[in-house]
Amino acid sequence: MSAVSLASLVTAVRLRPSIRLRLPVLYTGLVLLAGVAVLAVNYSLVASRLPVRLDTASGPPASSSGEIVVRDGRPVSASDTAQARRAVADSAVARRDRTLGELLRQSIATLAVTAIVTLVAGRLVVGRVLRTVQRITTTARRLSEDDLSRRIGLDGPDDELRELADTFDAMLARLQRAFDEERRLIADIAHELRTPLANQRTVLEVGLGDPGATLADMRQTSERALAQTIRTQQLVERLLLLAYAEHASPGEEPVDLARLARQVLDATASPPGLDIRADLEPVTVAGDPILIEALLVNLVTNAVRHNRADGTVDVVLRPTPDGAELVVVNSGDRIEPEQVAELFQPFRRRRPDRTRSGDGVGLGLPIVAAIASAHGGRVRAGPGPQGGLRVTMELPAARQAGRVDALRS
């Protein structure tokens, strides 16, 4: 390895040390600090129990009459006694210093061995703990938009790492569902657009390919092509409205919901024999008038379209302590409770319409749910008492949000 490569490696390690190294070093540092504190306390306690000096003047005094003291058969003078005492004191001090020095050396050696063992053991323990993080990293690297089926599936105690792994698996499951729904929606959009375009092309090719076609035939061909074009335009407009509603941030503009609902009901075309009954109490909500009007149009149109020729549509608006509640109930074919949730999925239709020509595209209720959710409300649905569907929409009285200017342009 060249000097430049070695210097680069040293610089990289210095700037960004691995967590596998930082944690053991941190543990070792904490152990060293605790060991130094224990060593200092132990050293102080031992030193306080050992005498620092001996009183060389202590002991029995010499004879005041000048007599000679005899010990072990030998005469001992006062000066010899003092010298002996000083020798004993020096010896005691020397033993104290040797004891404290040996204690200090052994403690430092023990602390060094403990630090080495802590560093090695800490690295092993951290490496074992980081295996879970490594599994998460490996799983994340193997993920792609086309393959979100991999899971960590961590076993073991219910600790923080297990919670992290389970959270990551739950996130992957949500992403997989979102991607599956997106792919299904794209496929449905492609199918819905291909059908009217294919019909329009067929109509034009047949009309233009007939050399004996009269002006009336050409006019009929143009009308059929125009009908298919209008259907395609409606589909595109509803898809744009659904996209705007799902990402909308409605404002706080006051909206007279009763007046707006009355306008929508008056403008809704209904077949003869269909009875539309309204009971609208005055109530004001906050939001975007254009989005709320689109919500009402789709809700009422869906109730009218999926109905019997002699059926009914009941629209009831009531104020609530938190805002407003709008209930729309229509008659029609019986709907099973487990089928209701499917009606709020894009392009999920019931049976062909009996009162209209079947120009629905299956986006009415999804648009209603998206707009209600954007305004902080919710939509509940269930089978109606006379067949059909009962839809209950709740909107709050006020909500802090931005405005949606995209629909106004």
Above 50 in pLDDT, residue 399? no
More confident residue, 217 or 11: 217
More confident residue, 42 or 61: 42
User: Could you tell me which CATH class the domain 161-242 is placed in?
Assistant: mainly alpha
The pTM (predicted TM-score) of the whole model is: 0.54
Whether 276 contacts 268, CB under 8 Å:
yes
Chain mean pLDDT for the chain: 76
At 326, is the pLDDT very low, low, confident or very high (cuts 50, 70, 90)?
Answer: very high
The answer to whether domain 161-242 and domain 250-396 are alike in fold is no
State residue 143's pLDDT score.
Answer: 72
Above 80 in pLDDT, residue 248? no
Assigned CATH for 250-396: 3.30.565.10
State residue 65's pLDDT score.
Answer: 47
Above 50 in pLDDT, residue 1? no
HSE value, Cβ hemisphere, 13 Å, CA-based, for 233: 6
As given in the structure block, the two tokens for residue 117 are: 């063992």
Rounded mean pLDDT, 139-146: 70
Above 70 in pLDDT, residue 124? yes
Parse the chain into domains and list their residue ranges. Answer: 3-54+81-142, 161-242, 250-396
Q: In what order do the strands lie in the sheet with 323-330?
A: 275-280, 312-320, 323-330, 389-396, 378-383
The SS3 call for residue 329 is strand
